Chains A and B, each alone.
Chain A
Amino acid sequence: MPAELPEHSRSRLFPQQARIGRTRRARGVLIRIDSVTKRYPDGTVAVDRLSLEIPDRSVTVLVGPSGCGKTTTLRMINRMVEPSEGSILLDGQDIRQQPVNTLRRSMGYVIQNAGLFQHRTILDNIATVPRLLGRPKREARARAAELMERVGLDAALAKRYPYQLSGGQQQRVGVARALAADPPVLLMDEPFSAVDPVVRKGLQDELLRIQDELGKTIVFVTHDIDEAIKLGTKVAVLRTGGRLAQFAPPAELLSAPADAFVEDFLGADRGIRRLSFFPAAGLELQTAPVVPIDADAGRLASGAAAPYLLVTDADGRPLGWSEPDRLTAGAVDRERLLDFGRPFVPDTDSLRTALDGAVLSPTGWAVAVDGEGRAVGVVSQQVIGEAIRDAHGRVAARADAKAGR
């Protein structure tokens, strides 16, 4: 039966279960935003008495509609904007206690459109902060080359100029440049919002992979709630006028939005999206309806109780569905099989993927495959529905226990 995953695990990335363990090793609060207000001379309040505790070694996402002060909040952490009231503590120390440029060099900074220096090669762009810190050129470049590899950039790009790179590649350079001096904190201001959705997904996965390896404290600003839920260990939803609406792990946000604003901001299908946080591993799979294409009459008859049979090739890879009485042993026509939709991998996918597979399948049954794409069983919408109710029930029970009821 599906057990609920740690709340801050990232659903669509179950393969990297190891990361979940790593991100959990947070040592405590690294950045404490304490009742901070930013008021501009014209009277506009961008951020209103915001308090936020940003945990160490995790991704904290600030999300909200435009004008909610999320970027202003981020920029106050590296003092690109000075707060009007309140204070920000880094590791217990007021950030105003050290020289502003020393503070900034200890925090990686990634912005929309990357903001690369067009007159410098990719390698020299990445070497910027080590050079600012006084590292010799050779050493800084060696470090830059190392980072190019880390963010998945081909070493052949080192001598190129930014204009020769695609938007996605430029943004990778932006991330590499921010990481070059190995800062404990990474501030990212809508870094992926200017690239197309496919590239964006790649960059997001890459960021999670890098975070798994490096364990930085990342503060990430976005207006995209899906991005927030995918990347965030914790998500702070801000409302217009710079006030905090809710600060919670993504699963909690989806299951218990604090108010109508958060619920509205999460969008219509938060129930479906929440399924991303429940693994599909516990689903009860049926193997009887799975038959190989060269099955004999006896084998076909044994599955005949099921409304549909899933025909696989000799290696066990699914080919399509068919009603049992339309199959003749030894003469299965591949062309007449029904499409089997999108299979899911029980060990790594979520209930959302499984349900999606079942909804897409013309038979209403989802196909489960192993890592090599061989069918390991099938599961009906009904069974998935029961698994969802079970998972919800367990979360509710845990919440009750926590509340001491």
Chain B
Amino acid sequence: MNVLDFARAFFSDGAHWHGYDGIPTRFGEHVRYSLEALLIAAAIGLPVGLVTGHYGRGGNALAFLATAGRALPSFGLLVLMFIWIGFGLLPVMIPLVVLAVPPILVTTYEAVRSVDPSPVDAARGMGMPEARVLFQVEVPVALPLILSGLRTAAIQIVSTATIAAYVSLGGIGRYIIDGLYQKDYEKVVGGATLVAGLALVTLALFWAVSRLTVSPGVRRSG
């Protein structure tokens, strides 16, 4: 039996399509964990990245934080948080957010900082208030890069959220962890395929968002 056979067997088994351990439930849980983690990470990374990028300061401190964040192993952090906090969503969210903040923060900072200074100078010289300079001049031009930071973070979250199952939560990780435990490789391959599929869907979503939000003037010249 090869991997494709495992996958086919997993997805054609009717029992896998309903119930609390069915694909729709697990998939939904996975999407929910990922979205929550991404939103929290964006809520931290975007404002800090935008402000530091706009003023062009704090780059060194950011680089340090980002390296530190990336160096932390998500799985180790999960176990640590689980021991410390106990059951619940929080010990899962912390490693996911720690994983996702650095790419968002650093790319946003770099994106805003590398915007051509002359339109910014022109905007200020025309009497545009600072907040508008940031949101109406810098962000629209920096948007493709900012989105790429968010996309990287989202993909990492989607694949890493499988560890939630390790601390008895749901998500697609359930299939992988349970499958490994039960030596049910059909389940393992099925779970892995679902995660990969979700990652691809995430990519497609970001592509669509970027088509919709990035100005054609930026897309072509950038």
Binding site for B on A (CB under 8 A): 78, 80, 100-105, 109, 111-121, 128-129, 132, 161-163, 174, 177-178, 187
CB distance from B137 to the nearest CB of A (A): 6
Q: Is the CB of B127 within 8 A of A118?
A: no
A113: contacting residue among B118, B124, B215, CB under 8 A: B118
Contact status of A104 and B125, CB under 8 A, knowing A111-B118, A117-B137, A119-B140: yes
CB distance from A265 to the nearest CB of B (A): 27
Q: Is the CB of B217 within 8 A of A115?
A: no
Contact status of A128 and B126, CB under 8 A, knowing A112-B118, A115-B121: yes
Would you list 8 pairs from A and B whose C-beta atoms are within 8 A, ordered by A residue? A105-B127, A115-B123, A117-B137, A118-B217, A119-B214, A119-B217, A121-B217, A132-B132
Q: Is the CB of A104 within 8 A of B215?
A: no
Q: Is the CB of A80 within 8 A of B126?
A: no
Name B134-166 residues within 8 Å CB distance of A.
Answer: 136-137, 140-141
B132 partner residues in chain A, CB cutoff 8 A: 132
CB distance from B73 to the nearest CB of A (A): 40
A119: contacting residue among B123, B124, B129, B215, CB under 8 A: B215
B121 partner residues in chain A, CB cutoff 8 A: 80, 111, 115
Q: Is the CB of A105 within 8 A of B126?
A: yes
A101: contacting residue among B118, B127, B137, B215, CB under 8 A: B127
Binding site for A on B (CB under 8 A): 116, 118-129, 132, 136-137, 140-141, 214-218, 220-222
Report the Cα distance A78→B121, complex, angstroms: 12
Report the Cα distance A116→B127, complex, angstroms: 15
A78 partner residues in chain B, CB cutoff 8 A: 125
B217 partner residues in chain A, CB cutoff 8 A: 118-121, 161-163
Q: Is the CB of B118 within 8 A of A80?
A: no
A104 partner residues in chain B, CB cutoff 8 A: 124-127
Q: Is the CB of B221 within 8 A of A161?
A: yes
**Chain B, Cβ-Cβ closest to A101:** B127
Q: Is the CB of A102 within 8 A of B127?
A: yes
**A78, A100, A119, A132 — most chain B CB neighbours (10 Å):** A119
B119 partner residues in chain A, CB cutoff 8 A: 115-118
Q: Is the CB of A103 within 8 A of B220?
A: no
Report the Cα distance A104→B124, complex, angstroms: 8
Report the Cα distance A114→B125, complex, angstroms: 12
Q: Is the CB of A101 within 8 A of B128?
A: yes
Report the Cα distance A177→B141, complex, angstroms: 19
Report the Cα distance A116→B121, complex, angstroms: 10
B125 partner residues in chain A, CB cutoff 8 A: 78, 80, 104, 109, 111, 187
B120 partner residues in chain A, CB cutoff 8 A: 115
Contact status of A161 and B215, CB under 8 A, knowing A112-B118, A118-B141: yes
Contact status of A118 and B221, CB under 8 A, knowing A111-B118, A161-B215: yes
**Chain A, Cβ-Cβ closest to B115:** A118
**Chain A, Cβ-Cβ closest to B120:** A115
Report the Cα distance A78→B221, complex, angstroms: 31
Report the Cα distance A117→B215, complex, angstroms: 11
**B124, B127, B218 — most chain A CB neighbours (10 Å):** B127
A109 partner residues in chain B, CB cutoff 8 A: 122, 125-126
**B122, B129, B216, B220 — most chain A CB neighbours (10 Å):** B122
B218: contacting residue among A80, A118, A128, CB under 8 A: A118
CB distance from B166 to the nearest CB of A (A): 44
CB distance from B118 to the nearest CB of A (A): 4
**Chain A, Cβ-Cβ closest to B221:** A163
- Beyond A105-B127, A113-B118, A115-B123, 14 extra complex contacts between A and B, CB < 8 Å: A78-B125, A102-B127, A104-B124, A109-B125, A115-B118, A117-B119, A117-B140, A118-B217, A118-B218, A119-B217, A120-B215, A129-B126, A132-B127, A163-B220
Report the Cα distance A163→B141, complex, angstroms: 13
CB distance from B205 to the nearest CB of A (A): 22
A177 partner residues in chain B, CB cutoff 8 A: 122, 126
B118 partner residues in chain A, CB cutoff 8 A: 111-115
Q: Is the CB of A119 within 8 A of B220?
A: no
Report the Cα distance A121→B116, complex, angstroms: 17
Report the Cα distance A172→B220, complex, angstroms: 21
Report the Cα distance A129→B124, complex, angstroms: 11
Report the Cα distance A187→B140, complex, angstroms: 26
CB distance from B139 to the nearest CB of A (A): 9
B127: contacting residue among A103, A113, A114, A119, CB under 8 A: A103
Report the Cα distance A178→B137, complex, angstroms: 16
Report the Cα distance A128→B126, complex, angstroms: 8
Q: Is the CB of B140 within 8 A of A132?
A: no
Closest 3 CB pairs of A and B: A161-B217, A104-B127, A115-B122
Q: Is the CB of B124 within 8 A of A80?
A: yes
CB distance from A113 to the nearest CB of B (A): 5
B214 partner residues in chain A, CB cutoff 8 A: 119
A119 partner residues in chain B, CB cutoff 8 A: 140-141, 214-215, 217-218
A114 partner residues in chain B, CB cutoff 8 A: 118, 122
A105 partner residues in chain B, CB cutoff 8 A: 126-127
A187 partner residues in chain B, CB cutoff 8 A: 125
**Chain A, Cβ-Cβ closest to B214:** A119
**B119, B128, B132, B141 — most chain A CB neighbours (10 Å):** B119
CB distance from B41 to the nearest CB of A (A): 26
**Chain B, Cβ-Cβ closest to A102:** B127
B222 partner residues in chain A, CB cutoff 8 A: 118
Report the Cα distance A117→B133, complex, angstroms: 11
Report the Cα distance A118→B137, complex, angstroms: 9
CB distance from B50 to the nearest CB of A (A): 16
